[in-house]
């Protein structure tokens, strides 16, 4: 398996605080890789450092064999890597229609056949052309997240960075979005890096996962190991117990 994303000893610091502390892993092409951890564990920082939204001070990042450093990413990078954010209320421009939101990445990357691409993107996320000229405030949370996914997929990327894509949504809507993401991954042979605090979601969506705590990777394990409870870190056990819900006594 060739690696799509390879990270070695990545360090991100904010003043004296190490948000990421020598994090390394390789994600194979076509793999779905999960990252779990609590707030402050560095899981979102990691995605932001990959995508160039945060600068990393040390270590190396290579995507499909091309090295990147700091915050600089070329256009080619964003053709390959797209991101879906947690909060669908904050990640769509409030004064742009869906049409405009989907048009922008196409213009930036000089795509042709814009008309078809936009309507196909909407169809793919199950919204249809009726949503094309709406503003984001006219959409529900689930519909907004579908638009955010359409905006990421419209550039036909190879790698999708998913930062808690369903944690702001109701459980039933979460199921729809997760199904949509899985379908897109199958159809397009995508690589996923998915961040979530929910072990259930990660074990459903990913083949392998890393458990993070305080900026470090505590453990990397196959998702199947969670089921068989074959893990070594105490923190992984705590997360697993927590995911099973409240028990008295």
Site string for another protein, 107-146 (x = CB under 8 A): ----------------------------------x-----
175 near another protein (CB under 8 A): yes
What sign for the dihedral angle of Cα 127, 79, 101, 88?
positive
**Applying CB under 8 A, which of residues 26, 104, 156, 176 lies at the interface with another protein?**
176
Q: Which of residues 9-38 bind another protein (CB under 8 A)?
A: 38
**Residues near another protein (CB under 8 A), total:** 34
Please report which helix (H) or strand (E) contains residue 127, including its range.
none
**Applying CB under 8 A, which of residues 200, 230, 232, 234 lies at the interface with another protein?**
200
**Applying CB under 8 A, which of residues 147, 194, 205, 217 lies at the interface with another protein?**
205
**Applying CB under 8 A, which of residues 75, 123, 133, 242 lies at the interface with another protein?**
242
> Which residues does residue 34 pair with via DSSP β-bridges, in sequence order?
194, 209
Using CB atoms within 10 A of its CB, is residue 74 exposed (0-12), middle (13-18) or buried (19+)? Answer: exposed
243 near another protein (CB under 8 A): yes
DSSP-derived secondary structure for 22-77: EEEEEEETT-EEEEE--TTSSHHHHHHHHHTSS-EEEEEEEETTEEEEETB--HHH
Q: Which of residues 180-199 bind another protein (CB under 8 A)?
A: 182-183, 197-199
Count the Cβ atoms, other than its own, within 10 Å of residue 198: 18
The binding site for another protein (CB under 8 A) comprises: 38-39, 141, 170-176, 178-179, 182-183, 197-201, 203-205, 226-227, 238-243, 245-248
């Amino acid at each position: 398996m060739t690696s799509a994303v390879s990270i070695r000893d990545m360090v991100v610091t904010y003043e004296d605080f190490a948000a990421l502390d020598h994090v390394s892993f390789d994600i194979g092409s076509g793999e779905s890789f999960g990252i779990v951890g609590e707030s402050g564990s560095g899981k979102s920082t990691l995605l932001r450092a990959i995508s160039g939204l945060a600068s990393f001070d040390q270590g190396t990042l290579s995507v499909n064999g091309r090295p990147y450093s700091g915050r600089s990413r070329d256009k080619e990078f964003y053709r390959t890597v797209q991101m879906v954010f947690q909060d669908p209320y904050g990640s769509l421009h409030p004064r742009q229609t869906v049409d405009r939101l989907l048009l922008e990445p196409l213009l930036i990357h000089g795509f042709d056949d814009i008309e078809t691409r936009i309507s196909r993107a909407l169809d793919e996320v199950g919204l249809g052309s009726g949503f094309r000229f709406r503003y984001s405030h006219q959409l529900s949370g689930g519909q907004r997240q579908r638009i955010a996914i359409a905006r990421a997929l419209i550039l036909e990327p190879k790698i999708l960075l998913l930062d808690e894509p369903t944690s702001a949504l109701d459980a039933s809507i979460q199921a729809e979005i997760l199904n949509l993401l899985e379908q897109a991954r199958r159809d397009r042979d995508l690589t996923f890096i998915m961040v979530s605090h929910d072990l259930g979601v990660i074990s459903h969506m990913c083949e392998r996962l890393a458990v993070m705590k305080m900026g470090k990777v505590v453990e990397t394990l196959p998702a199947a190991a969670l089921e068989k409870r074959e893990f070594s870190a105490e923190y992984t056990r705590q997360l697993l117990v927590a995911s099973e819900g409240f028990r008295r006594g």
